[in-house]
Chain A
Amino acid sequence: MGGALEPRDRRGLILPKWLPPALLLLPAALVFGGLFVWPQLGLFATSVASPPPIGFATYQRFLGDSFYVAVLVRTLSLGACVTLVCLICGFPLAFFLARLESRWVPFLIMIVSFPLWVSAVVRSFAWMVLLLRNGLVSIWLRDAGLAPAGFQLMYSFAGIVIALAQVLLPLMVITLYAVIKGIDRDLENAAMNLGASPGRAVCLVTLRLARGGIFAGSLLVFSLSISAFATPSLVGGATAQLMAVAIYEQTLEINDWPFAATISAILLAIALSVALVYGRLIDGRNVPVR
């Protein structure tokens, strides 16, 4: 805000400089504070209260138990796998849409976002039909010799990855689409003009410049997949031994709230640190994101 320009109200009253921004931020801050920060603090307080008043027994229990450590590792690898699949499938698709000069683009984007319109239950039900032993996908894999007899994707880790990647792909595509759309197409043309094949032009230029979008999309997909509950438990059945499922079970089936709070706190802490580290990695050269 220009130093000389003091905001005034209509009667010429001079308002303090911090007031208008503070007022603008207020609604979001209230919602965020009341519905997220405050409950999170409560959750955290619950997690560090055994034994009371302050104790870390639940953390010791989690971290000292190879079963729960495995749950954590499985959850993180699920996030990584889903993110990778979404990136590999999403980038070409987003690139194609961003470079397509057609008035059908909005319609195509709508189609891409279709999985988001369908409830988790219905979507998982559809996957079930495809992934069960007698389902198309499982049969193809067996026929192609890629899987042993009796193999099924349903109730397996790979099945969860596929089902989650399908729901989250639109988020990746839409995020990347916006970023790629903002990258001057002439940069690719310039690279080709200088002798780079189209593929290399995309790798050397577009992919580099889309880093911000790749970061944002990956983070979105990663955090949603490590906290996903419905899809993994429906498609994964008993194999869905994941953080979110553990939280659900501890809260609603086992009624151990302090332990559930601990798992939530650990999940949140990990999600945040992954975001920070990943941000550092990808933003290596501090290229402005357009």
Chain B
Amino acid sequence: MSASTSSRTINRRALFSLAGAAGAAAAGLSPAFAQAQFRGRELVSSSFGGPGMEIMQRVVFDAFGARTGARATQVPLLSAQAFARMRAEKDNPQLDMYMFSGGQEVTAKAEGLTQPIVGASRMSQIPANLRDPDGHWVVWGVIAEGILYRTDKIANPPTSYADFFRPELQGHIAFPHITNGYGMDFLVMLARMNGGGERNIDPGFEAMKRLRGASIFRAPTDVQTLFSQGDIWMLPYDAATAVRSNRMGLPVAFATPREGAPAVFLTACIAKNSRNAEMAAQIIDGLLGAESQIAIAREVVWGPSNPTVQLPADIAATVARPDQLAVLDRDAINAARPQWAERWNREIAGG
């Protein structure tokens, strides 16, 4: 299975290379003694793969390596697989640092798999709701979800999740499987729209059942294929995929639904018994810096989590504004995930 067929995920299709190579000087964040301290050591982090990983490698990981003489690398892992590995290697972690997109960091902290991030000074710039109160994890990027649609097939752009039920669109709708995080969020948003929510999911299931003729897909790569085949006109996904589809020449646009764009938070945390915790903290600090946050927003359309970062105007337009985000109760969703997944398999997949 490839890293790109994932739950909350992050595609790896090639992008245009960065216009200007990342500047040589990384922001001065490391005390001088660190340079000698980390020389020859090796840090490994999980990552989401794809262009996002490449950018982070260049802007943060390699820069850290150059500065300290250490080696810092990433391995692509789906969030769920990364979490399974974190659990399995609990006592002797092979990965020092983990990146999650499905809220696994909360469970990880609860199970005692993480440790506080100490020495990342930019942590304090991050709003309180985007980091753990005890400093075990921090959000470094935000993915905005919404509605992707074919601009050539749909004359009046969708503005709400209710548009999925427009009669003229029947047979032209697709949505992701529940094991894909966007599929889960779509279910929650349908519930919210019909008077329910994270704690009352029934209306979501009822609404989803009315989409019976829709194509249900698992792989993120299916999005482009579905759109390019001309048969599917609308599906719930993220802004980054819309931008990417557009760059591939597909007439696809992103619409932020009236009900709010569910946000997916990209987080980083440090494995409990990691021997390289200080190095990991510096890497995380780098991820929160302006250079990294802007580069990622430009290339993969993941919004910044650091409010002190000023996005250039051209990028700001493609990234959802904070007031357009719908913040979902990830704890509730994670807690209910197993039941919902089972129920979804029975009631929606039509088994």
Contact = CB atoms under 8 A, between A and B. Distances in A.
Q: Are any A and B Cβ atoms less than 8 Å apart in their complex? A: yes
A114 interface: no
A238 interface: yes
B94 interface: no
B184 to A, nearest CB: 9
A140 interface: no
B329 interface: no
24 contacts: A67-B351, A70-B351, A71-B351, A119-B2, A120-B1, A121-B1, A121-B219, A124-B219, A125-B221, A128-B225, A132-B229, A134-B231, A150-B171, A154-B215, A233-B219, A234-B5, A234-B222, A238-B216, A241-B349, A252-B78, A253-B337, A254-B338, A254-B341, A255-B84
Interface of A: 67, 70-71, 74, 119-121, 124-125, 128-129, 132-135, 150, 152, 154-155, 229-230, 233-234, 237-241, 249, 251-256
Interface size on B, as a range, is 35 or more
Contacts of A249: 179, 341, 345
A237 B346 CA distance: 14
A155 B351 CA distance: 12
A230 B6 CA distance: 12
Which residue, A135, A239, A251, A253, has most C-beta atoms of chain B within 10 A? A253
B205 interface: no
Contacts of A237: 177, 215-218, 222
A134 B213 CA distance: 15
B348 interface: yes
Interface in B66-119: 78, 80-81, 83-84
A67 B342 CA distance: 10
Given A150-B213, A237-B217, A254-B337, 20 more contacts: A67-B351, A74-B351, A121-B4, A128-B222, A133-B229, A133-B231, A134-B230, A154-B215, A230-B5, A233-B219, A237-B216, A238-B216, A238-B218, A238-B348, A239-B351, A249-B179, A249-B341, A251-B84, A253-B337, A254-B341
B208 to A, nearest CB: 11
Which residue, B84, B213, B342, has most C-beta atoms of chain A within 10 A? B342
A38 B212 CA distance: 44
B167 to A, nearest CB: 15
A60 to B, nearest CB: 16
A74 B345 CA distance: 14
Nearest to A236: B218
Contact of A253 (B1, B179, B216, B346): B179
B225 A129 contact: yes
Contacts of B341: 249, 253-254
A256 B338 contact: yes
Contact of B349 (A229, A239, A252, A254): A239
Contacts of B229: 129, 132-135
Interface string B329-351: 00000000110011001101111
B218 A233 contact: yes
Contacts of A234: 5, 218-219, 222
A136 to B, nearest CB: 11
Given A134-B230, A241-B351, A121 B216 contact: no
B26 interface: no
B226 interface: yes
B7 interface: yes
A110 to B, nearest CB: 25
A238 B350 contact: yes
- 4 tightest A-B contacts by CB? A238-B216, A252-B80, A238-B349, A254-B338
Nearest to A229: B1
B121 to A, nearest CB: 34
